[in-house]
Amino acid sequence: MSVSLTESAAKHVQNFITKRGKGVGLRLGVKTSGCSGMAYKLEFADEVASDDLTFESHGVTLLVDPKSLPYINGMELDYTREGLNEGFKFNNPNVKDQCGCGESFKV
Amino acid sequence: MALLQISEPGLSTLPHQHRLAVGIDLGTTNSLVATVRNGISVVLNDEQGRLLLPSVVRYLEDGSVQVGESAQAAQNLDPSNTIVSAKRFMGRGLKDIGDVSGSPYRFVDIPSTGSGQAPGMVQLRTVAGVKSPVEVSAEILKQLRARAEASLGGELVGAVITVPAYFDDAQRQATKDAARLAGINVLRLLNEPTAAAIAYGLDNASEGVYAVYDLGGGTFDISILRLSRGVFEVLAANGDSALGGDDFDHRIYCWLLAQNELPPLNPHDTRLLLTRARAAKEELTEHAETRITAVLSGGEIIDNLLTQQVFHEMTRNLVSRTLQPLRRALRDAQLTVEEVKGVVMVGGATRMPQVQRAVAEFFGQTPLTNLDPDKVVALGAAIQANVLAGNRSGDDWLLLDVLPLSLGIEIMGGLTEKIVPRNSTIPTARAQEFTTYKDGQTAMSVHVVQGERELVADCRSLARFELRGIPPMVAGAARIRVTYQVDADGLLSVSAREMSRGVEAHITVKPSYGLSDEEVTRMLAESNAHAADDMRARALREQQVEARQLLEAVQNALDEDGTALLAPDERAAIQDGMAALGAVLPGSDLPAIKRAVSKLNELTVAFAQRRMDNNVARALGGKKLSDLEM
């Protein structure tokens, strides 16, 4: 069971956390909402919750709550550029179907 | 698939509900758009990687519009249809702009729509029709909006747009109108110096006084801010609307002409040398010397070496010209240099080492320069937009702005009664009660003014409206509540309500034009300089109002009871007293008016006594005592 970052994503995350001035890592998870059932959660984490599962990837601590893990197990988070836009992209092997925008998904 | 950004803890957005918000620095020379992405404020670039969008709009015959670099390139070719610095015309009448003889534009004056109405905002005739400065600004905003939506991958929920601290209601409203025209929801208008202070995180810093030194392409602004309890107050604003980085380019250009003994150049060569001059200026920020080379259209070869020292020498008086408004601003704020806790540098021209040195020397401290001075205003606006859009748990962060000039109402005698004082934090609402001046008065004119002076004539008229349907009552009996409400953008709505019957009238002040920055600074300075004059003027006007009221009352009494109750010589004496008062009334001899008023009062004591007795007798006549005791 694990989640990970690409090297490029890790660099950006580290940079953002440094500039933000605080934070213990990056929280990944899912929420039950959205047009296709599930939506990703991507937040700065200021503290580790007692039941959090933690992973290290390229020097960044990733926090996942146990309920979310099955949905994103094996997932790799990447940082990419699309035209003028740039941001994080979830490469999730569990996804069977996703809405056109890719912001929500089904497993 | 959509790309995601990192949110603050607990603030992940639902799919398709990203609260995309931007900060826009709508500048005279260049404009920028910024947003907070992954917790960091960043300026958004276009497809070519350019951050600054020149604030230039060109209208073409086929109705199409060019904005930015392409419009700027056509400036020499098509000067009358290529609008630069539209910000200078926002919310301005033709009269406000001053001398336009040197301008390439075909201005259209919009005259006043009626007596007492201010004239409309100036318009510009282009090949694509008559355009208002609001429409021109909207084109720039549309471009920035498109850039933001392409960069953020979605529709904006809103934007914070910055305006100079000295912008009055008319200019602020014009800016808001331009945003609406561009399809942008304005979360708030923010003062530029305040935005710069936010970008430096000064709102989280300890309380104190900060100076913002803003030397842009063509304008210089200095603002003195005080931060207290998370609120930035603009204590003083000053500047020079015709001084900026372009003047430094021009000095180098003139030096090149002199060095090479060139005759006046054609527009193409002028532009070429100005571009080279600008590049040389930028080069000299980092290097001790730079070589300027160019080949003119006539084949002349320019090849000169310019050292930092020579450049600093030739621009010395430009730098010192910025220090004068600085001193004035500090004096207006009644502060000494030592009381200034920090200095923020804004505007590309503040990169020049001689400017930084002069400012450091003046304040006796190193100014803040670690943020890019071109971006700092947009970055601060983006931080504010992010909070207003709800992307940050904002309990630690409540930033208010303040009103630049007092808002008041005209009262009898042409005097100003301030309702919302200058530097009040906004949004705010204030109410005050007024009454009628004459018996049976059924209407009241509400004249809204802005400024610091005691006399209406010295303030700026913003709006006028009438409250009708006041029930007839004796003078002073009616109660009319006038409420001034200023929203978070500094825009004013005024309502007047008669309390007994509830008739109401109101107006949203969208003045058709307003004050120039020179006028605002002048008005502020004058209000201090003329404080004593104003006090005397107020005392005189008040005495005149009282005297007129007395004359009117005596005349009414004479008309009613003069023949019945007065002997001819008594009547003549009173009429003499009235004439004496009437003679001194229009003058400015306050003691003489006072003496005439008390003389007339003395002369009429006996008459008033008799009238009173007479009225009592009339009221009691034919009534039983028991009726009266009821």
A95 in B contact zone (CB under 8 Å):
no
Residues of A in contact with B37 (CB under 8 A): 87
Q: Quote the CA–CA distance of B578 and B599 in Å, as a whole number.
A: 9
pLDDT (0 to 100) of residue B522: 62
State mean pLDDT over B329-344.
Answer: 92
Q: Is the pLDDT of residue B389 over 80?
A: yes
pLDDT (0 to 100) of residue B373: 95
Residue A42's H or E segment, with its range, is strand A38-45
pLDDT digits (tens, 9 = 90+) for B90-114: 988 887 777 777 677 888 887 766 5
Q: Quote the CA–CA distance of B191 and B231 in Å, as a whole number.
A: 12
State mean pLDDT over B449-462.
Answer: 83
Q: Is the pLDDT of residue B248 over 50?
A: yes
Other CB atoms within 10 Å distance of the CB of residue B201: 12
Q: Is the pLDDT of residue B511 over 50?
A: no
pLDDT (0 to 100) of residue B306: 96
Instruction: Tell me the residue ranges of DSSP E strands in B127-169.
Output: 129-131, 158-163
Please name the residue of chain B whose CA is at the shortest distance from the CA of residue A46: B9
Q: Is the pLDDT of residue B519 over 70?
A: no
Q: Is the pLDDT of residue A34 over 50?
A: no
The DSSP bridge partners found for residue B126 are B129
Residue type, A76: E
Confidence class for position B436, pLDDT limits 50, 70, 90: confident
pLDDT (0 to 100) of residue B285: 93
Confidence class for position A97, pLDDT limits 50, 70, 90: low
Please name the residue of chain B whose CA is at the shortest distance from the CA of residue A24: B9
B510 included as an active-site residue: no
pLDDT (0 to 100) of residue B114: 55
pLDDT (0 to 100) of residue B117: 52
More confident of the two residues B203 and B585: B585
pLDDT digits (tens, 9 = 90+) for B523-582: 656 666 666 677 777 778 888 888 888 888 888 888 888 888 888 888 888 889 899 998
More confident of the two residues B30 and B391: B30
Which of B2, B46, B147 is facing A101, going by the closest CB pair? B2
Confidence class for position B518, pLDDT limits 50, 70, 90: low
pLDDT (0 to 100) of residue B83: 93
Confidence class for position B167, pLDDT limits 50, 70, 90: confident
pLDDT (0 to 100) of residue B512: 36
A22 in B contact zone (CB under 8 Å):
no
For residue B568, the number of C-alpha atoms closer than 13 Å in the C-beta half-sphere is 0
A91 in B contact zone (CB under 8 Å):
no
B12 in A contact zone (CB under 8 Å):
yes
Q: Is the pLDDT of residue B474 over 70?
A: yes
State mean pLDDT over B485-512.
Answer: 77
Cβ distance B142 to B133 under 8 Å? no
CB burial class (10 A; 0-12, 13-18, 19+) of residue B433? exposed
| Percent of chain B whose pLDDT exceeds 90 | 36
Q: B16-25, B68-77, B218-227, B589-598: lowest mean pLDDT where?
A: B16-25
Q: Which residue has the tokens 């205003």?
A: B377
Q: Is the pLDDT of residue B74 over 50?
A: yes
ipTM: 0.77
Q: Is the pLDDT of residue B626 over 70?
A: no
Cβ pair A44:B1 closer than 8 A: no
Which position among B192, B203, B240, B247 bears the catalytic label? B192
Residues of B in contact with A33 (CB under 8 A): 14-15
B48 in A contact zone (CB under 8 Å):
no
For residue B592, the number of C-alpha atoms closer than 13 Å in the C-beta half-sphere is 10
Closest CA relative to residue B63, chosen from B86, B81, B85, B87: B81
State mean pLDDT over B69-92.
Answer: 89
Model pTM score: 0.65
Closest CA relative to residue B52, chosen from B160, B140, B142: B140
Confidence class for position A70, pLDDT limits 50, 70, 90: confident
